[in-house]
Amino acid sequence: MNKYKVCVYAICKNEAKFVEKWVKSMSEADNIYVLDTGSTDDTVEKLKNLGVNVLEEKITPWRFDVARNKSLEVVPIDTDICVCTDLDETFEDGWRKKFADAWAKGADKLKYNYNWSFDEYGKPATTFYISKVHKRVGYYWHHPVHEVLNNIKGEREILVPDVTLNHHPDLKKSRSSYLPLLELSVKEDPLDDRNMHYLGREYMYYHKYNEAIDTLIKHLELPTALWKAERCASMRFIARCYIALNREKEAEMWFKLALKEEPTLRESYVELAQLYVNTKKYDLAYELLKEAFLIKEKAPIYINEAFAWNDYIYELMGVAAYNLGLLPEALLNMNKALELNPNNEEIKNNIEIINNELNK
């Protein structure tokens, strides 16, 4: 277990509420290094009191890649395994040994499970693989935001499926810097398909629907935009923007394109079904949801979204079935939705309505 020198490194700013839990989780490492970029709370004091090596430096103008690279520079050059996390993330116990075992197979970089979000009952909602564990030499971070870990030469990446990192962010923290940083990122590298997609998505989040549509179409037109799942997501986001602009025909077209692009993901079926429920085309919604339920496995990619796998899809199927007169099936799906979300009053009311219909 101690064959390799393992170091954790991170950047932070005003993360005092996470310090104790994070340090405890990272304590399997030999050393922990943090670059604090200007905390005004007691983050630095708490970290130092727990034995963390802390460097303080403000990054102006702010860029995530510059901060990450400065934090990596602090890690000793003789480190075998570098583990990059954020303070709102924690590993499940035993991660060091599992990483070391994989490293012994000749890895340069490790991939593992990441629970990016959880539902109100603490169950993972959005889960995918990430790769932020790597050799000390030859790696660097790139892009002002949504930074990626690059390497100077070829690498061997190994999946460690039994290691999980959990993300519990401070939802009150502003993400206002993301949009200008993404605009800068695309300006610096207009051919980078990943950040073009992210920029379009960010415009959508900010209700800048026309800018979002234009940017997401640019993403789809890039010669490097080949990953079908991400292309599918861009098409779904375009459709969402058209719904917000009250242009349902265009939305329907783009959802259909998304389905054609990547038919193995549930999300497009569910979103188009929702559009059909909203427009009272219950038969079309019902057929789409039946197809969605045939997809049994959630892909371990960041594209997956909770609504396609939680109570929402069952509630939607219940509504479609009810309006088609399929009351037993409607009740079955509503009960499943309630099982997954037992505090939802709307689902309870729907079940009562269906039972009243059945008992007439």
Rounded Cα–Cα distance for residues 173 and 107 (Å)? 35
pLDDT digits (tens, 9 = 90+) for 339-352: 999 999 999 999 99
CATH of the domain at 214: 1.25.40.10
Instruction: Please report whether residue 272 resides in a domain.
Output: yes
Q: Is residue 348 part of a domain?
A: no
Where does a domain end: 167, 194, 211?
167
Eight-state DSSP code of residue 307: G
Residue that terminates a domain, selected from 114, 133, 167: 167
Q: Are residues 122 and 246 in the same domain?
A: no
**What are the pLDDT digits (tens) for 235-282?**
999 999 999 999 999 999 999 999 999 999 999 999 999 999 999 999
Between CA 31 and CA 12 the distance in angstroms is: 17
Is there a single domain that holds both residue 193 and residue 78? no
What is d(CA 342, CA 89) in angstroms, rounded to the nearest whole number?
Answer: 28
* Domain termination site, one of 134, 167, 200: 167
Mean pLDDT of 157-167: 97
Residues 41 and 185 in one domain: no
The whole-number average pLDDT for the span 102-129 is 94
For residue 335, CA distances in Å to 6, 29, 174, 315, 323 come to: 48, 46, 37, 9, 17
pLDDT in the model for residue 2: 62
pLDDT at 174 over 90: no
User: What is the residue-averaged pLDDT of the chain?
Assistant: 96
Strand partners, 314: none
State the average pLDDT over residues 148-173: 92
User: 145 and 63: one domain?
Assistant: yes
- Note the residue count of the chain: 360
Q: Are residues 156 and 11 in the same domain?
A: yes
Contact by Cβ (8 Å): 68, 84: yes
Do 130 and 190 fall within a single domain? no
Could you read off the pLDDT of 11-53 as tens digits, one per residue?
A: 999 999 999 999 999 999 999 999 999 999 999 999 999 999 9
Asked whether 45 and 24 are in contact (CB, 8 A), the reply is no
pLDDT at 171 over 90: no
pTM of the model: 0.92
Domain count, the chain: 2
Give residue 65's domain range.
Answer: 6-167
- Contact residues for 75 (Cβ-Cβ < 8 A; gap 6+): 7, 9, 33, 82, 136
Average pLDDT over residues 158-173: 93
